[in-house]
Structure 1
């Protein structure tokens, strides 16, 4: 057997069963908490298709740990998942933080409120936190605006750079029924300096009140900068001069949320916005901008955008993931939105730029350093589409395979069907189309999802994580997956894990929830990569 690089089974993470072996890996409260923070459920199914409404009943392990006096540890876990990019979705972390801030134990409550400004980086996150607080308090006969929350909200505003805060409050004014005006009023915020006081007055009283107090006053440098910025935002809001609006956008890097709806009817205004628009936002709006003729064949804006899309420095700075680019490219090829009547003809040079960016962006995938088997079930034709996307399941399976084959040195790629299994060669120089063809080269039939595990065991491959990709909503197998996995653990000495991914299905339930090493993914999205990474690193 080849060296595995795997640690021996850890007694603290395993439970002896009746037969006396220790290859059943228990799910502790901490693991359940981490699952919740990662994807909003303590269970063993990550649903990429739709996000469940977060409720207290979904966070039993969190509540249990709080009751056992582990509140500080819980808050630290929340911070870790929110700040280190471990969470597939940030909302569960914000919900968990709101729940901790309700706890009766004073040190936990204080730690939660102190973490608000660290976790809620965006005002939309802060509004979500307040809304969760409100929902959690609905059954209690008391308000939510106690001293702790007032201080946390005040600290959030006072910790911001004044000029950045001016941009924030004019870009994201309200969300989920809450506004900056509500928060400043209810928190009784006392501004830390005169520049923050100016912004507070602008939010609470409006521009006319600001003019009365500050325009003819001798102001500090910081106050003067904020005053000038807010004056520009107000000027744009009241301007019908297209040229003037464009000049202000370009000079002060204004964003579309700071403009009027009428401004966004102009393709010249869109071209001005395009220059500083974050790349992910650009990719999301390629179809709309093509339909509006902001981007035209041979146009200078199109050429500049193509150069930007392909620039390694941009891709690296914005941490673009290959799957994100594939999602954007396939949607752009589709030629119409999922809702509404917007249609467009995909521009060839943009598609070529996206193709180049796709391959370059693999440099942004950070290796886990584990051994993987990625096995693609070809028992059914991979010709359907991953729900919520324009990506075929064949392409999805291929790009998932490429991510691991290109970034993890110890990866085996398999294609399998009824009684047939073949090892595939997926090299770093292969295209997406070539990888797809490599995966579907054996005939279909019924499927047995235990075949890849058996193959690894029989061939002396010690595997940390098995990733099974399938279109098939139902699997047949000669042995239960957990039994097959336990056998591999016993022989290889690895704490092996199994991720069952149904690319088109909702809620696979073949896994055993009492074994930490089994997880299902329904559908697929960018967050699924975070889930798999956390699984590989023993975090969930």
Structure 2
């Protein structure tokens, strides 16, 4: 979002004469950084939860002061809806802040966007809690007419059966419950199915049964009533077979079960059949350790087929990096706390390997020219923080993502004074790609070498992705100045991502250039950060 009212995604014509004004880190850019990863600064730290707070949103406040609140809300919606945000919390916090702004149009826009940004009950609870926190210093209530209407519209705008599943799966969060929100918002149900759910939430199942038994109910009400009856039945059932049948027939989720139910291996097997694939990948070790998944069992075979099903992978939008993380963690045979241990099942490992290559179809091309440069000056046997993935394998996966999805990607391996163009192709395996990256000998690090190489070769590069393990970045020249020279020679809107894969403390002096970002560590969110930068979205 530009000061003129244009979005930051709007195309700009690059001035090859070296005009620096377009590269200034404006309040618009800072806002987009905050919505993407929770900080207005130029550094994204992998796996770090940046809890939104007033001291992190100076640019957002400045834009509101300038009367750009409606445009701010549009940016919030864009980042929340298009998968551009690493986490939704910053977007929800920003929306809550806009909903309390003094300008009426900004408040209206924020409340009108509530259903689009907060699509799940957990998101709605977070929004209400952020509003409470923001109001505490103001010594006043939060439940004005506008919020009551927005919350009422949220409930009334839901598909009834989906809402029934949502309120039974996520009953409360952040100190708020659905009963609280329906009561405080004075929600008047828009139709009978929503009235049924409202009664169930506020009065309980027995009163709901009494109110709707022997009544001439619509088909929709009958469906919702039957679903709620199933949820209540499973809550009071001690019969393992009955619980399993209810899970399989009505696709119940573990949040709707009792803790005692989850002690059963058979119950877990039933849950795994419909559990979201992303969730399955995270608990493979636990399920193997608990003997829920056993070698050569029918359940294990069925799960392996699902893991490597192109249709299932596409539906879940699983990224190759997620699968590789899951594979390495599973292969490790031990949880990070050291308490849970398992022997990795070879058929599951084989399925994960197959799924890894198929999942590249889920990565949408950006359509830019990339250089992925891997620093080989230090050992690549260390691991990404909080994972079991070596930095060599991680670098290979990153390179493969761009080589397989972007038509014009160059992969380089470099150290002090030495740089090699790697022969990485889209048909290579992960092992082959990893081997290709570590062929040249190490030395000390000069992270500007890849940019200098592209400039001398006359290759117009949209995004340089520099990967390094080195705890100290060294440069023969300023990375910003080196990047500027490349822009001037090629006329390209080149950007630079400096990634310290094992570190959390890297900084580069003089980074008031919006085309340069720093990543500390690497996780799935880092791909979103790179995509947003490449597409000029921040």
TM-score, normalization by structure 1: 0.95
Of 54, 57, 67, 2:55 maps to 57
Give runs of aligned pairs for residues 15-34 of structure 1, distance below 5 A: 21-23=18-20, 25-34=23-32
Task: Indicate whether 1:137 and 2:135 are aligned.
Answer: yes
- Separation of aligned partners in 1, 2:510 and 2:487: 16
Any idea what the Cα deviations from partners look like across 1:230-266, whole Å, max 9, x if unmatched? Answer: 1111111111001111111111111111111111111
CA-CA distance at 1:297 after TM superposition: 0.7
CA-CA distance at 1:216 after TM superposition: 3.4
- Contact 1:8 1:493 survives alignment (8 Å): no
Any idea what the Cα deviations from partners look like across 1:389-409, whole Å, max 9, x if unmatched? Answer: 221111111100111111111
Any idea what the Cα deviations from partners look like across 1:423-449, whole Å, max 9, x if unmatched? Answer: 101111211111111111111111100
Task: Indicate whether 1:516 and 2:520 are aligned.
Answer: no
Task: Indicate whether 1:341 and 2:339 are aligned.
Answer: yes
3-state SS in 1 of match to 2:464: strand
- Contact 1:511 1:518 survives alignment (8 Å): no
- Contact 1:95 1:132 survives alignment (8 Å): yes
- Contact 1:134 1:144 survives alignment (8 Å): yes
- Separation of aligned partners in 1, 2:391 and 2:215: 63
* 2:148 paired residue number: 150
Any idea what the Cα deviations from partners look like across 1:455-485, whole Å, max 9, x if unmatched? Answer: 1111111111110001112111111111111
Any idea what the Cα deviations from partners look like across 1:100-142, whole Å, max 9, x if unmatched? Answer: 0010100110110011111111111111111111111110110
Of 253, 258, 261, 1:260 maps to 258
* 1:506 paired residue number: 504
- Separation of aligned partners in 2, 1:136 and 1:66: 16
Structure 1 segments of 4+ aligned residues over 3 angstroms from their partners: none
* 2:400 paired residue number: 402
* 1:17 paired residue number: none
* 1:443 paired residue number: 441
Tell me the C-alpha RMSD between the 2 structures: 1.4
- Choose 340-349 or 105-114, whichever is displaced more: 340-349
Task: Indicate whether 1:367 and 2:365 are aligned.
Answer: yes
Give runs of aligned pairs for residues 232-381 of structure 1, distance below 5 A: 232-339=230-337, 341-381=339-379
- Separation of aligned partners in 1, 2:537 and 2:243: 49
- Separation of aligned partners in 1, 2:456 and 2:486: 9
- Contact 1:45 1:507 survives alignment (8 Å): no
- Separation of aligned partners in 1, 2:47 and 2:209: 49
CA-CA distance at 1:49 after TM superposition: 2.9
- Separation of aligned partners in 2, 1:157 and 1:215: 24
Of 386, 408, 413, 1:388 maps to 386
- Choose 48-57 or 302-311, whichever is displaced more: 48-57
3-state SS in 2 of match to 1:275: helix
- Contact 2:14 2:491 survives alignment (8 Å): no
3-state SS in 1 of match to 2:410: strand
- Contact 2:372 2:464 survives alignment (8 Å): yes
3-state SS in 1 of match to 2:496: strand
3-state SS in 1 of match to 2:274: coil
- Separation of aligned partners in 1, 2:18 and 2:223: 69
3-state SS in 1 of match to 2:411: strand
- Contact 2:111 2:150 survives alignment (8 Å): yes
Of 201, 222, 225, 1:227 maps to 225
- Separation of aligned partners in 1, 2:478 and 2:116: 44
- Contact 1:27 1:516 survives alignment (8 Å): yes
* 1:4 paired residue number: none
- Contact 1:43 1:513 survives alignment (8 Å): no
- Contact 1:49 1:522 survives alignment (8 Å): no
- Separation of aligned partners in 1, 2:230 and 2:217: 17
- Separation of aligned partners in 2, 1:163 and 1:496: 49
Higher relative contact order (CA 8 A, sep 6+): 1
CA-CA distance at 1:8 after TM superposition: 8.6
- Separation of aligned partners in 2, 1:225 and 1:532: 45
- Separation of aligned partners in 1, 2:133 and 2:376: 46
3-state SS in 2 of match to 1:283: helix
- Contact 1:466 1:499 survives alignment (8 Å): yes
- Separation of aligned partners in 2, 1:245 and 1:487: 66
- Separation of aligned partners in 2, 1:475 and 1:324: 28
* 1:485 paired residue number: 483
- Separation of aligned partners in 2, 1:220 and 1:369: 50
CA-CA distance at 1:21 after TM superposition: 4.2
- Separation of aligned partners in 1, 2:47 and 2:157: 36
* 1:10 paired residue number: 14
CA-CA distance at 1:536 after TM superposition: 0.7
* 2:5 paired residue number: none
- Separation of aligned partners in 2, 1:439 and 1:329: 21
TM-score, normalization by structure 2: 0.96
CA-CA distance at 1:10 after TM superposition: 2.8
